[in-house]
Amino acid sequence: FLGLHFQLEKNWHIYWVNPGDSGEPPRVEWKLPPGVTAGAIEWPTPHRLETPGIVDFGYENSVTLIVPMYPDASLAAEPVQFGAGLKLLVCSREMCIPGKAQLSLTLPVKTQPPLPDPRTAALFATTRKSLPLPMPGSWKVKVGEKSDCFVLTANIGHPITQAVFFAVAESQVSNAGPQRLLPMKSGFQLTLMKSDQLLKPISQLKGVLALSNDRAYLIDVPISKAGSSSSAP
């Protein structure tokens, strides 16, 4: 894994993969050595960044985005250089500043597993704890659709008093709209207002569900139409 670490000034933020009502997420163009391919960025669970009439999703203070790297088995055992062209938007409540940087890192290639680097081990450990988890197999989650909202119902074995859903795709769920939570004996029901920019039907609702136990989970559930039922274990 490689990490992109951002240390932000107070009251400034960067954005999640779905930035919300404004902004844009960091973008990376990799320059990789032959025999190495990059996976997708693994995004920590975001926070709601609220200003009057606008809700964005992103990170304040500091965050590390980690990216899996996949070396070919035939990669020669000699140092290789990784390059990254980074573009990002850093914003406060009053203004936004676009930025870009060219980054590089040279690493040795070894056949044995690498030892943790004490200079960065804590950053990777903290980031991994903040990544959303796969949805447990014991959960029963379904999503119904009404004219103006999606209704997410989850049976997880115990009541939940706080839940926030972050849709991965833009323009599906209203960012600033209320998310009405109805606690139930074995879970909860969460009503999500549709985005005004949702112009055509969608068949799947995918996102991150942050719960009151300070854990977040990846949700990817088919949407059931009126008169039908659909769920994901």
Q: CA dihedral defined by 134, 136, 154, 207, rounded to 10 degrees?
A: 0
Per-residue pLDDT tens listing for the chain (233 residues): 999 999 999 999 999 999 999 999 999 999 999 989 999 999 999 999 998 889 999 999 999 999 999 988 888 888 899 999 999 999 998 899 999 999 999 988 887 777 778 888 999 999 999 999 999 999 999 999 999 999 999 999 999 999 999 999 999 999 999 999 999 999 999 999 999 999 999 999 999 999 987 799 999 999 997 534 444 44
In one-letter notation, the amino acid at residue 206 is: K
Task: Quote the distance between the C-alpha of residue 53 and its chain's center.
Answer: 23
- DSSP per-residue letters across 149-175: EEEEEEE-SS--S-EEEEESSTTSB-S
Query: Helices (DSSP H) in 73-183: which residue ranges?
Result: 121-130
Residue 10: CA count within 13 A, CB half-sphere: 0
d(CA 226, CA 139): 22
In one-letter notation, the amino acid at residue 27 is: R
Whether the Cβ atoms of residue 90 and residue 12 lie closer than 8 Å to each other? yes
